[in-house]
Amino acid sequence: MKVDMSPKAVRERLRLMDELWLLSVKLMNSKKVKVSKTIKSEYKSIITCPECGFQKEEEMPTDSCVFFYECENCKKLLKPKKGDCCVFCSYGSVECPPKQTGNDCC
């Protein structure tokens, strides 16, 4: 199959991608509303970068742990400290969801 790379075809593809992106954002937003209504634990955590002190609020996945996190400011790849299961436990303002609910994760 030959890919049509003419400016018109490329523009059309970009437009479709834009629409898909908007759609996924809408879906994500509606999901967030449901989650905050039904689950009490906090699933947002403010990560503080140990290198530069940069802080950012991140949403935590409820069913898994995050091992690697890249600081937006200094681009350093953060890894959990020894004994911690994820970067949220090491650098976040709240522990990861599995710990909050008392389940052992990983």
Q: Shortest Cβ distance from residue 6 to Zn ion (Å)?
A: 43
75 in Cβ contact with 66 (< 8 Å): no
Q: Which ranges in the chain belong to alpha helices (H)?
A: 7-38, 87-91, 97-100
- Binding status of residue 52 toward Zn ion by CB under 5 A: yes
CB nearer to Zn ion: give 28 or 77: 77
- With contacts defined by CB under 5 A, name the span among 18-26, 30-38, 53-61, 81-89 that binds Zn ion: 53-61
- Binding status of residue 86 toward Zn ion by CB under 5 A: no
C-alpha span between 86 and 105 (Å, rounded): 10
Q: Please report, as ranges, the residues that interact with Zn ion according to CB under 5 A.
A: 49, 51-52, 54, 71, 73-74
